Structure 1
Amino acid sequence: MTSAALAGFLTGLSLIVAIGAQNAFVLRQGIRREHVLPVVAVCAAADALLIAAGIAGLGALVTSHPTVLAVTRYAGAAFLLVLAVGAALRARRPERLDPATEGPAALGAVLSTCLALTFLNPHVYLDTVVLLGSLAHQHDPGAWAFGAGAMVASVAWFTALGFGATYLRPVFARPRAWQVLDVAIAVVMATLAVLLLI
Protein backbone atom coordinates (compact mmCIF):
# COMPACT_ATOMS: atom_id res chain seq x y z
CA MET A 1 0.00 0.00 0.00
CA THR A 2 2.87 2.37 0.80
CA SER A 3 4.46 1.82 -2.61
CA ALA A 4 1.09 2.47 -4.30
CA ALA A 5 0.65 5.70 -2.33
CA LEU A 6 4.17 6.84 -3.24
CA ALA A 7 3.56 6.02 -6.90
CA GLY A 8 0.31 8.00 -6.75
CA PHE A 9 2.07 10.95 -5.12
CA LEU A 10 4.83 11.06 -7.76
CA THR A 11 2.42 10.53 -10.66
CA GLY A 12 0.02 13.17 -9.37
CA LEU A 13 2.84 15.64 -8.84
CA SER A 14 4.24 15.08 -12.33
CA LEU A 15 0.83 15.80 -13.88
CA ILE A 16 -0.04 18.84 -11.79
CA VAL A 17 3.27 20.72 -11.77
CA ALA A 18 3.12 21.46 -15.52
CA ILE A 19 2.41 25.14 -16.14
CA GLY A 20 -1.23 25.70 -16.91
CA ALA A 21 -4.05 28.16 -16.49
CA GLN A 22 -4.97 26.94 -13.00
CA ASN A 23 -1.37 27.16 -11.75
CA ALA A 24 -0.94 30.64 -13.23
CA PHE A 25 -4.12 31.75 -11.46
CA VAL A 26 -3.03 30.31 -8.10
CA LEU A 27 0.38 31.96 -8.51
CA ARG A 28 -1.17 35.36 -9.15
CA GLN A 29 -3.51 35.05 -6.17
CA GLY A 30 -0.56 34.03 -4.00
CA ILE A 31 1.50 37.03 -5.04
CA ARG A 32 -1.45 39.31 -4.36
CA ARG A 33 -2.08 37.56 -1.00
CA GLU A 34 -5.74 37.53 -1.95
CA HIS A 35 -8.06 34.67 -0.91
CA VAL A 36 -5.09 32.27 -1.04
CA LEU A 37 -6.43 29.69 1.43
CA PRO A 38 -9.87 29.36 -0.24
CA VAL A 39 -8.24 29.12 -3.68
CA VAL A 40 -5.78 26.44 -2.53
CA ALA A 41 -8.59 24.56 -0.77
CA VAL A 42 -10.88 24.65 -3.82
CA CYS A 43 -8.13 23.50 -6.20
CA ALA A 44 -7.07 20.64 -3.91
CA ALA A 45 -10.68 19.59 -3.20
CA ALA A 46 -11.55 19.64 -6.91
CA ASP A 47 -8.53 17.46 -7.67
CA ALA A 48 -9.46 15.05 -4.89
CA LEU A 49 -13.01 14.80 -6.25
CA LEU A 50 -11.79 14.15 -9.80
CA ILE A 51 -9.19 11.59 -8.68
CA ALA A 52 -11.81 9.74 -6.63
CA ALA A 53 -14.22 9.83 -9.57
CA GLY A 54 -11.55 8.38 -11.84
CA ILE A 55 -10.82 5.52 -9.47
CA ALA A 56 -14.55 4.89 -9.03
CA GLY A 57 -14.92 4.40 -12.80
CA LEU A 58 -15.88 7.79 -14.25
CA GLY A 59 -12.94 7.55 -16.67
CA ALA A 60 -14.68 4.91 -18.76
CA LEU A 61 -17.82 7.05 -18.86
CA VAL A 62 -15.88 10.13 -19.98
CA THR A 63 -14.10 8.31 -22.80
CA SER A 64 -17.37 6.80 -24.03
CA HIS A 65 -18.97 10.27 -24.47
CA PRO A 66 -16.68 12.28 -26.77
CA THR A 67 -19.41 14.90 -27.30
CA VAL A 68 -19.17 15.94 -23.66
CA LEU A 69 -15.41 16.38 -23.99
CA ALA A 70 -15.87 18.36 -27.21
CA VAL A 71 -18.35 20.76 -25.61
CA THR A 72 -16.07 21.17 -22.61
CA ARG A 73 -13.14 21.81 -24.94
CA TYR A 74 -14.85 24.68 -26.77
CA ALA A 75 -16.26 26.21 -23.58
CA GLY A 76 -12.84 25.95 -21.93
CA ALA A 77 -11.08 27.54 -24.90
CA ALA A 78 -13.53 30.45 -24.91
CA PHE A 79 -13.09 30.98 -21.18
CA LEU A 80 -9.29 30.88 -21.46
CA LEU A 81 -9.39 33.46 -24.27
CA VAL A 82 -11.48 35.78 -22.09
CA LEU A 83 -8.92 35.44 -19.29
CA ALA A 84 -6.06 36.00 -21.75
CA VAL A 85 -7.65 39.23 -22.98
CA GLY A 86 -8.21 40.36 -19.38
CA ALA A 87 -4.57 39.73 -18.48
CA ALA A 88 -3.40 41.52 -21.64
CA LEU A 89 -5.57 44.54 -20.81
CA ARG A 90 -4.16 44.65 -17.26
CA ALA A 91 -0.64 44.53 -18.70
CA ARG A 92 -1.35 47.61 -20.85
CA ARG A 93 -1.80 49.71 -17.69
CA PRO A 94 1.08 48.74 -15.40
CA GLU A 95 0.31 51.58 -13.01
CA ARG A 96 -2.95 49.80 -12.13
CA LEU A 97 -1.32 46.46 -11.40
CA ASP A 98 -0.31 47.29 -7.82
CA PRO A 99 -2.71 45.31 -5.57
CA ALA A 100 -2.82 48.26 -3.18
CA THR A 101 -4.43 50.40 -5.87
CA GLU A 102 -6.22 47.70 -7.86
CA GLY A 103 -8.43 46.72 -4.95
CA PRO A 104 -9.30 43.21 -3.83
CA ALA A 105 -11.46 40.97 -5.96
CA ALA A 106 -14.61 39.52 -4.41
CA LEU A 107 -14.20 36.01 -2.99
CA GLY A 108 -17.13 34.73 -5.04
CA ALA A 109 -15.61 35.98 -8.30
CA VAL A 110 -12.21 34.51 -7.44
CA LEU A 111 -13.64 31.10 -6.57
CA SER A 112 -15.89 31.09 -9.65
CA THR A 113 -12.85 31.70 -11.83
CA CYS A 114 -10.94 29.00 -9.98
CA LEU A 115 -13.73 26.45 -10.48
CA ALA A 116 -14.11 27.36 -14.15
CA LEU A 117 -10.36 26.97 -14.73
CA THR A 118 -10.61 23.53 -13.17
CA PHE A 119 -13.80 22.08 -14.62
CA LEU A 120 -13.80 23.75 -18.06
CA ASN A 121 -10.41 22.24 -18.84
CA PRO A 122 -10.89 18.98 -20.77
CA HIS A 123 -7.30 17.96 -19.95
CA VAL A 124 -8.28 17.69 -16.29
CA TYR A 125 -10.68 14.91 -17.24
CA LEU A 126 -8.15 13.13 -19.44
CA ASP A 127 -5.24 13.48 -16.99
CA THR A 128 -6.92 13.32 -13.60
CA VAL A 129 -9.99 11.18 -14.24
CA VAL A 130 -8.99 8.89 -17.10
CA LEU A 131 -5.20 8.59 -16.75
CA LEU A 132 -4.88 8.62 -12.96
CA GLY A 133 -7.96 6.42 -12.65
CA SER A 134 -6.53 3.77 -14.96
CA LEU A 135 -3.04 3.97 -13.40
CA ALA A 136 -4.57 3.56 -9.95
CA HIS A 137 -6.16 0.26 -10.96
CA GLN A 138 -2.78 -1.05 -12.08
CA HIS A 139 -1.93 -0.99 -8.35
CA ASP A 140 -4.94 -3.09 -7.24
CA PRO A 141 -5.70 -3.78 -4.45
CA GLY A 142 -3.95 -0.51 -3.63
CA ALA A 143 -5.90 1.66 -6.09
CA TRP A 144 -7.30 3.91 -3.38
CA ALA A 145 -3.87 4.21 -1.74
CA PHE A 146 -2.55 5.35 -5.13
CA GLY A 147 -5.40 7.87 -5.29
CA ALA A 148 -4.66 9.08 -1.76
CA GLY A 149 -1.04 9.66 -2.74
CA ALA A 150 -2.13 11.68 -5.78
CA MET A 151 -4.50 13.73 -3.59
CA VAL A 152 -1.68 14.49 -1.12
CA ALA A 153 0.49 15.60 -4.05
CA SER A 154 -2.26 18.01 -5.12
CA VAL A 155 -2.59 19.49 -1.62
CA ALA A 156 1.20 19.82 -1.31
CA TRP A 157 1.60 21.47 -4.71
CA PHE A 158 -1.20 24.02 -4.42
CA THR A 159 -0.18 24.90 -0.86
CA ALA A 160 3.44 25.43 -1.92
CA LEU A 161 2.42 27.42 -5.00
CA GLY A 162 -0.19 29.61 -3.32
CA PHE A 163 1.62 30.39 -0.08
CA GLY A 164 5.15 30.17 -1.51
CA ALA A 165 4.26 32.85 -4.06
CA THR A 166 4.10 35.42 -1.24
CA TYR A 167 7.91 35.30 -1.11
CA LEU A 168 7.91 36.78 -4.60
CA ARG A 169 5.95 39.79 -3.37
CA PRO A 170 9.01 42.10 -3.03
CA VAL A 171 9.75 41.53 -6.72
CA PHE A 172 6.16 42.48 -7.55
CA ALA A 173 6.30 45.74 -5.59
CA ARG A 174 7.09 47.31 -8.97
CA PRO A 175 4.28 47.72 -11.53
CA ARG A 176 6.66 46.53 -14.28
CA ALA A 177 6.88 43.09 -12.66
CA TRP A 178 3.08 42.80 -12.62
CA GLN A 179 3.09 43.77 -16.27
CA VAL A 180 5.53 40.97 -17.12
CA LEU A 181 3.50 38.46 -15.08
CA ASP A 182 0.23 39.42 -16.76
CA VAL A 183 1.82 39.22 -20.21
CA ALA A 184 3.07 35.73 -19.33
CA ILE A 185 -0.38 34.75 -18.04
CA ALA A 186 -2.02 36.10 -21.21
CA VAL A 187 0.39 34.08 -23.36
CA VAL A 188 -0.18 30.89 -21.34
CA MET A 189 -3.98 31.26 -21.41
CA ALA A 190 -4.09 32.07 -25.14
CA THR A 191 -1.72 29.22 -26.00
CA LEU A 192 -3.77 26.73 -24.00
CA ALA A 193 -6.96 27.98 -25.67
CA VAL A 194 -5.46 27.49 -29.14
CA LEU A 195 -4.15 24.03 -28.20
CA LEU A 196 -7.62 23.05 -27.03
CA LEU A 197 -9.12 24.13 -30.35
CA ILE A 198 -6.59 22.36 -32.56
Structure 2
Amino acid sequence: MNSGFLPAAAAGFGTGLSLIVAIGAQNAFVLRQGVRRQAVFAVVGICAVSDALLIALGVAGLGTVITAWPGAMTVVGLAGGGFLICYGLLAARRALRPAPGQGLTTDGAAAGSVRGAVLTCLALTWLNPHVYLDTVLLLGSVAADRGPLRWIFGLGAMVASLVWFTALGYGARLLGDALSRPGTWRALDGFVAAIMLAMGTMLVVRAL
Protein backbone atom coordinates (compact mmCIF):
# COMPACT_ATOMS: atom_id res chain seq x y z
CA MET A 1 0.00 0.00 0.00
CA ASN A 2 1.27 3.47 -0.89
CA SER A 3 2.55 5.24 2.25
CA GLY A 4 0.54 8.31 1.30
CA PHE A 5 -2.76 6.43 0.96
CA LEU A 6 -4.01 6.83 4.53
CA PRO A 7 -2.85 10.46 4.97
CA ALA A 8 -4.54 11.44 1.71
CA ALA A 9 -7.76 9.63 2.64
CA ALA A 10 -7.74 11.16 6.13
CA ALA A 11 -7.16 14.64 4.70
CA GLY A 12 -10.05 14.15 2.30
CA PHE A 13 -12.28 12.93 5.12
CA GLY A 14 -11.44 15.90 7.34
CA THR A 15 -11.80 18.46 4.56
CA GLY A 16 -15.08 17.01 3.35
CA LEU A 17 -16.51 16.84 6.87
CA SER A 18 -15.53 20.43 7.62
CA LEU A 19 -17.45 21.62 4.56
CA ILE A 20 -20.73 19.80 5.22
CA VAL A 21 -21.12 19.88 9.02
CA ALA A 22 -22.20 23.53 9.16
CA ILE A 23 -26.00 23.79 9.40
CA GLY A 24 -27.38 24.77 6.02
CA ALA A 25 -30.50 24.21 3.94
CA GLN A 26 -29.64 20.62 3.05
CA ASN A 27 -28.67 19.64 6.59
CA ALA A 28 -31.78 21.26 8.04
CA PHE A 29 -33.94 19.26 5.64
CA VAL A 30 -32.19 15.98 6.45
CA LEU A 31 -32.63 16.72 10.16
CA ARG A 32 -36.33 17.38 9.72
CA GLN A 33 -36.85 14.19 7.73
CA GLY A 34 -34.87 12.27 10.32
CA VAL A 35 -36.99 13.39 13.25
CA ARG A 36 -40.15 12.74 11.26
CA ARG A 37 -38.80 9.31 10.22
CA GLN A 38 -40.00 9.91 6.67
CA ALA A 39 -38.03 8.77 3.62
CA VAL A 40 -34.81 8.87 5.67
CA PHE A 41 -33.04 6.18 3.63
CA ALA A 42 -33.93 7.89 0.34
CA VAL A 43 -32.92 11.35 1.57
CA VAL A 44 -29.62 10.17 3.08
CA GLY A 45 -28.89 8.19 -0.08
CA ILE A 46 -29.58 11.15 -2.37
CA CYS A 47 -27.35 13.45 -0.34
CA ALA A 48 -24.48 10.96 -0.12
CA VAL A 49 -24.62 9.87 -3.78
CA SER A 50 -24.99 13.47 -5.00
CA ASP A 51 -21.97 14.52 -2.95
CA ALA A 52 -19.97 11.58 -4.31
CA LEU A 53 -20.81 12.59 -7.88
CA LEU A 54 -19.95 16.23 -7.26
CA ILE A 55 -16.69 15.33 -5.52
CA ALA A 56 -15.76 13.06 -8.43
CA LEU A 57 -16.49 15.86 -10.89
CA GLY A 58 -14.36 18.25 -8.86
CA VAL A 59 -11.46 15.81 -8.66
CA ALA A 60 -11.78 15.21 -12.41
CA GLY A 61 -11.39 18.94 -13.05
CA LEU A 62 -14.91 20.20 -13.76
CA GLY A 63 -14.25 23.13 -11.45
CA THR A 64 -12.19 24.83 -14.15
CA VAL A 65 -15.15 24.63 -16.54
CA ILE A 66 -17.53 26.22 -14.00
CA THR A 67 -15.01 28.98 -13.30
CA ALA A 68 -14.81 29.71 -17.03
CA TRP A 69 -18.59 30.25 -17.23
CA PRO A 70 -19.68 32.60 -14.41
CA GLY A 71 -23.17 32.79 -15.89
CA ALA A 72 -23.84 29.24 -14.73
CA MET A 73 -23.51 30.24 -11.10
CA THR A 74 -25.88 33.19 -11.64
CA VAL A 75 -28.58 30.95 -13.07
CA VAL A 76 -28.17 28.36 -10.32
CA GLY A 77 -28.12 31.11 -7.68
CA LEU A 78 -31.41 32.64 -8.81
CA ALA A 79 -33.17 29.28 -9.18
CA GLY A 80 -31.82 27.91 -5.91
CA GLY A 81 -32.47 31.13 -4.01
CA GLY A 82 -36.06 31.28 -5.21
CA PHE A 83 -36.64 27.66 -4.22
CA LEU A 84 -35.18 28.16 -0.75
CA ILE A 85 -37.33 31.24 -0.15
CA CYS A 86 -40.49 29.34 -1.14
CA TYR A 87 -39.57 26.40 1.08
CA GLY A 88 -38.73 28.77 3.93
CA LEU A 89 -42.12 30.46 3.64
CA LEU A 90 -43.84 27.07 3.84
CA ALA A 91 -41.84 26.20 6.96
CA ALA A 92 -42.71 29.59 8.48
CA ARG A 93 -46.38 28.94 7.79
CA ARG A 94 -46.15 25.58 9.56
CA ALA A 95 -44.50 27.29 12.53
CA LEU A 96 -47.12 30.04 12.75
CA ARG A 97 -50.14 27.89 11.87
CA PRO A 98 -49.34 24.29 12.86
CA ALA A 99 -51.59 21.58 11.53
CA PRO A 100 -53.66 19.68 14.12
CA GLY A 101 -51.69 16.80 15.63
CA GLN A 102 -48.37 18.04 14.27
CA GLY A 103 -46.34 16.05 16.82
CA LEU A 104 -43.99 13.33 15.70
CA THR A 105 -45.64 10.18 14.39
CA THR A 106 -43.95 6.86 13.83
CA ASP A 107 -46.26 5.70 11.07
CA GLY A 108 -44.68 4.99 7.71
CA ALA A 109 -44.61 7.85 5.26
CA ALA A 110 -47.17 7.86 2.52
CA ALA A 111 -46.03 7.42 -1.06
CA GLY A 112 -46.77 11.05 -1.84
CA SER A 113 -44.68 12.31 1.07
CA VAL A 114 -41.77 10.12 0.00
CA ARG A 115 -41.96 11.49 -3.53
CA GLY A 116 -42.12 15.04 -2.22
CA ALA A 117 -39.18 14.45 0.09
CA VAL A 118 -37.10 13.03 -2.77
CA LEU A 119 -37.88 15.94 -5.10
CA THR A 120 -37.23 18.50 -2.38
CA CYS A 121 -33.93 16.85 -1.46
CA LEU A 122 -32.81 16.82 -5.11
CA ALA A 123 -33.66 20.51 -5.46
CA LEU A 124 -31.92 21.49 -2.22
CA THR A 125 -28.83 19.59 -3.33
CA TRP A 126 -28.47 20.46 -7.00
CA LEU A 127 -29.88 24.01 -6.97
CA ASN A 128 -27.51 25.19 -4.24
CA PRO A 129 -24.53 27.11 -5.70
CA HIS A 130 -22.60 26.56 -2.45
CA VAL A 131 -22.50 22.86 -3.31
CA TYR A 132 -20.62 23.60 -6.51
CA LEU A 133 -18.34 26.14 -4.88
CA ASP A 134 -17.44 23.93 -1.91
CA THR A 135 -17.62 20.43 -3.34
CA VAL A 136 -16.57 20.92 -6.95
CA LEU A 137 -14.29 23.96 -6.86
CA LEU A 138 -12.77 23.90 -3.38
CA LEU A 139 -12.44 20.15 -2.88
CA GLY A 140 -11.38 19.74 -6.49
CA SER A 141 -8.59 22.28 -6.15
CA VAL A 142 -7.38 20.80 -2.85
CA ALA A 143 -7.46 17.31 -4.32
CA ALA A 144 -5.41 18.47 -7.31
CA ASP A 145 -2.53 19.27 -4.97
CA ARG A 146 -2.40 15.57 -4.01
CA GLY A 147 -1.28 14.63 -7.51
CA PRO A 148 -1.69 10.89 -8.16
CA LEU A 149 -3.40 10.51 -4.77
CA ARG A 150 -6.16 12.99 -5.62
CA TRP A 151 -8.73 10.22 -6.06
CA ILE A 152 -7.84 8.79 -2.65
CA PHE A 153 -8.40 12.26 -1.21
CA GLY A 154 -11.74 12.41 -3.01
CA LEU A 155 -12.69 8.98 -1.69
CA GLY A 156 -12.04 10.18 1.86
CA ALA A 157 -14.33 13.16 1.27
CA MET A 158 -17.05 10.86 -0.10
CA VAL A 159 -16.86 8.66 3.00
CA ALA A 160 -17.14 11.76 5.21
CA SER A 161 -20.33 12.77 3.40
CA LEU A 162 -21.85 9.30 3.80
CA VAL A 163 -20.97 9.16 7.51
CA TRP A 164 -22.34 12.64 8.21
CA PHE A 165 -25.67 12.30 6.44
CA THR A 166 -26.24 8.82 7.88
CA ALA A 167 -25.54 10.10 11.39
CA LEU A 168 -27.72 13.18 10.89
CA GLY A 169 -30.67 11.35 9.32
CA TYR A 170 -30.79 8.35 11.65
CA GLY A 171 -29.36 10.02 14.75
CA ALA A 172 -32.18 12.55 14.67
CA ARG A 173 -34.51 9.77 15.85
CA LEU A 174 -33.00 10.15 19.29
CA LEU A 175 -34.95 13.40 19.52
CA GLY A 176 -38.23 11.56 19.07
CA ASP A 177 -39.51 12.05 22.63
CA ALA A 178 -38.89 15.79 22.61
CA LEU A 179 -40.41 16.14 19.16
CA SER A 180 -43.59 14.35 20.13
CA ARG A 181 -44.79 17.75 21.34
CA PRO A 182 -46.28 20.12 18.72
CA GLY A 183 -44.57 23.10 20.35
CA THR A 184 -41.16 21.61 19.67
CA TRP A 185 -42.13 21.08 16.04
CA ARG A 186 -43.08 24.73 15.74
CA ALA A 187 -39.63 25.69 17.04
CA LEU A 188 -37.95 23.31 14.58
CA ASP A 189 -39.97 24.64 11.66
CA GLY A 190 -39.11 28.18 12.75
CA PHE A 191 -35.44 27.21 12.78
CA VAL A 192 -35.71 25.65 9.31
CA ALA A 193 -37.61 28.68 7.99
CA ALA A 194 -34.95 31.09 9.27
CA ILE A 195 -32.14 29.13 7.59
CA MET A 196 -33.99 28.69 4.29
CA LEU A 197 -35.09 32.33 4.04
CA ALA A 198 -31.68 33.70 5.01
CA MET A 199 -29.79 31.48 2.56
CA GLY A 200 -32.34 31.99 -0.22
CA THR A 201 -32.20 35.76 0.11
CA MET A 202 -28.40 35.71 0.21
CA LEU A 203 -28.22 33.58 -2.95
CA VAL A 204 -30.60 35.83 -4.87
CA VAL A 205 -28.78 39.00 -3.80
CA ARG A 206 -25.39 37.57 -4.78
CA ALA A 207 -26.69 36.36 -8.13
CA LEU A 208 -28.18 39.74 -9.12
TM-score between the two structures when normalised by the length of structure 2? 0.92
Contact 2:105 2:180 in 1 (8 A): no
Task: State whether structure 2 residue 85 is matched by structure 1 residue 81.
Answer: yes
Q: Equivalents in 2 of 1:175, 1:167: separation in Å?
A: 17
Give 2:31's aligned residue: 27
SS of alignment partner, residue 94 of structure 1? coil
- Structure 1 residue 187 displacement after superposition: 0.3
Equivalence map 1:60-139=2 (5 Å): 60-96=64-100, 97-100=102-105, 104=110, 105-139=112-146
Give 2:41's aligned residue: 37
Larger displacement relative to structure 2 (98-107 or 55-64): 98-107
- Structure 1 residue 107 displacement after superposition: 1.6
> What do you get for the CA RMSD once the two structures are aligned?
1.5
Which of 181, 190, 202 in structure 2 is aligned with 1:183? 190
- Structure 1 residue 95 displacement after superposition: 4.7
TM-score between the two structures when normalised by the length of structure 1? 0.96
Deviations 1:108-146 (A, max 9, x none): 211110000000000100100000001001111110000
Give the aligned length: 198
Q: Equivalents in 1 of 2:121, 2:54: separation in Å?
A: 15
The list of structure 1 runs, each at least 4 consecutive aligned residues, that deviate by more than 4 angstroms after superposition, is 101-105
SS of alignment partner, residue 44 of structure 1? helix
Q: Equivalents in 2 of 1:36, 1:100: separation in Å?
A: 14
Q: Equivalents in 2 of 1:65, 1:95: separation in Å?
A: 45
Q: Equivalents in 2 of 1:37, 1:141: separation in Å?
A: 34
Deviations 1:5-53 (A, max 9, x none): 1000000000000110000000000000111011101100000000000
Contact 1:95 1:175 in 2 (8 A): no
- Structure 1 residue 197 displacement after superposition: 2.3
Task: State whether structure 2 residue 160 is matched by structure 1 residue 159.
Answer: no
Identity %: 53
